[in-house]
Amino acid sequence: TQIISDDTWKLVDGIWENRMQEINEGV
């Protein structure tokens, strides 16, 4: 089982939000 810290999750969450915004704006 892999344990991911809260900080890492926040970082990944922020990256995903930016990626989704770019995709939405691209469309």
Is pLDDT of 4 > 90?
A: no
Which long-range contacts (C-beta less than 8 Å, at least 24 apart) are formed by 2-5? none
User: Which two structure tokens, joined as six digits, stand for 5?
Assistant: 């810290």
What pLDDT score does 27 carry?
Answer: 74
Q: Which two tokens stand for residue 25?
A: 């704006």
pLDDT computed for residue 16 by the predictor? 94
Instruction: Return the C-alpha torsion angle 5, 11, 17, 18, nearest 10.
Output: -160
Pick the range with the lowest mean pLDDT from 3-7, 8-12, 18-22. Answer: 3-7
- What CA–CA distance (Å, rounded) separates 10 from 3? 14
What is the rounded average pLDDT for all residues in the chain? 90
